[in-house]
């Protein structure tokens, strides 16, 4: 899991860098269909989600105890196997508890989106201005009597696309570059930590950290930037070919939108 997170961080860095580089002048204002937003934190505060979350936390704590008990005297490989087993059990429980709730919420969101002619609903955290906030409408449906009714029509085509960056992370080029960088970073972390132990003054420490960051930045430009550029180019090409205005991360899409992940990963192969 840690490795996954670490990889996620590197690729997040890469995409952030990509997004920054991609700040090209606007080609021109495009007419868009409606974009909605949803405050998922507000939905999380609903009693049914809170109850499920409480149960999941209790289950997680119990699993953690069991894991520690069994892993204490286990070999490293056995510990890895156990970690996988317990993560899988946690994921199963998560599905069991949240699956029905998410299903119901998804129907409510689709229903509200349809009634408001929205083509896409995004996470409210990425909306700086505008859009239609449908949080209260969805909450009303979820807390009202009976189940929300699914819309009879499919959402109109959206001008907003999305990519699953975890899938892009797994393409061979990105993965190789990421692994290489991570290995380098691990070595640098260790070297910097050793140096920091010997630092006598705050100035020594600042210098060590400065060198450390510069080394990492240089290596990032060397190993990750080419991959980031290639990925950026592939996403841009696919988006243009499909007439999309923006492409966002799948994690920020709540409903609708156009998934271009496969087109992008195919292009990267």
Residue 266: what are its φ and ψ, rounded to 5°?
A: -60, -40
At its nearest, how many Å lie between other proteins and the CB of residue 246?
5
Site for other proteins in 146-205 (CB under 8 A): 159-166, 169, 189, 192-193, 196-197, 202, 205
Interaction between residue 113 and other proteins (CB under 8 A) = no
Question: Judged by CB, which is closer to other proteins: 162, or 223?
Answer: 162
At its nearest, how many Å lie between other proteins and the CB of residue 132?
6
Interaction between residue 132 and other proteins (CB under 8 A) = yes
- Candidate residues 5, 51, 61, 68; the one interacting with other proteins per rule CB under 8 A: 5
CB 265 within 8 A of CB 171: yes
Question: Judged by CB, which is closer to other proteins: 79, or 252?
Answer: 252
3-state SS, residue 255? strand
How far CA 249 is from CA of 62, 97, 244, 253, 256, in Å, comes to: 33, 25, 14, 7, 13
- Candidate residues 70, 123, 225, 268; the one interacting with other proteins per rule CB under 8 A: 123
Interaction between residue 145 and other proteins (CB under 8 A) = no
- Candidate residues 114, 137, 142, 212; the one interacting with other proteins per rule CB under 8 A: 212
Site for other proteins in 64-93 (CB under 8 A): 87, 91
| Continuous H helices in 45-75 | 47-71
* Beta bridge partner(s), residue 245: none
At its nearest, how many Å lie between other proteins and the CB of residue 97?
10
Site for other proteins in 246-265 (CB under 8 A): 246-255
Site for other proteins in 19-48 (CB under 8 A): 19-20, 22-37, 39-41, 43-44
Question: Judged by CB, which is closer to other proteins: 70, or 232?
Answer: 232
Question: Judged by CB, which is closer to other proteins: 62, or 207?
Answer: 207
At its nearest, how many Å lie between other proteins and the CB of residue 152?
20
Question: Judged by CB, which is closer to other proteins: 74, or 193?
Answer: 193
Determine the length of the chain: 269
* Beta bridge partner(s), residue 37: 122, 133
CB-based contacts of 199, cutoff 8 Å, min separation 6: 205, 208
Interaction between residue 207 and other proteins (CB under 8 A) = no
Buried residues in 168-201 as b, exposed as e (16+ CB within 10 A): bbebeebeebbeebbebbeebeeebeebeeeeee
* Beta bridge partner(s), residue 146: none
CB 262 within 8 A of CB 168: no
């Amino acid at each position: 899991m840690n490795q996954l997170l670490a990889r996620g961080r590197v690729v997040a860095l890469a995409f952030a860098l990509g997004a920054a580089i991609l700040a090209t002048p606007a080609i021109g204002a495009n007419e868009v269909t409606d974009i909605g937003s949803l405050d998922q934190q507000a939905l999380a505060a609903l009693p049914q989600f809170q109850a499920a979350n409480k149960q999941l936390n209790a289950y997680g704590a119990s699993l953690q105890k069991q894991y520690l008990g069994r892993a204490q005297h286990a070999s490293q490989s056995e510990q890895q196997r156990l970690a996988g087993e317990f993560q899988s059990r946690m994921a199963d429980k998560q599905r069991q508890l949240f699956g029905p709730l998410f299903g119901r919420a998804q129907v409510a969101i689709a229903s509200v989106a349809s009634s408001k002619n929205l083509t896409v609903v995004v996470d409210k955290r990425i909306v700086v201005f505008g859009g239609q906030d449908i949080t209260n409408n969805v909450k009303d449906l979820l807390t009202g009597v009976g189940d929300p009714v699914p819309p009879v029509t499919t959402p109109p085509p959206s001008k907003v696309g999305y990519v699953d960056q975890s899938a892009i992370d797994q393409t061979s080029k990105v993965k190789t570059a990421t692994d290489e960088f991570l290995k380098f970073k691990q070595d640098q972390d260790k070297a910097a930590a050793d140096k920091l132990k010997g630092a006598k003054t705050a100035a020594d420490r600042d210098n060590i950290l400065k060198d450390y960051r510069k080394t990492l930045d240089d290596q990032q430009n060397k190993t990750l930037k080419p991959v980031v550029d290639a990925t950026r180019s592939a996403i841009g090409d696919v988006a243009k070919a499909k007439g999309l205005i923006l492409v966002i991360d799948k994690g920020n899409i709540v409903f609708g939108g156009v998934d271009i992940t496969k087109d992008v990963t195919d292009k990267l192969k």
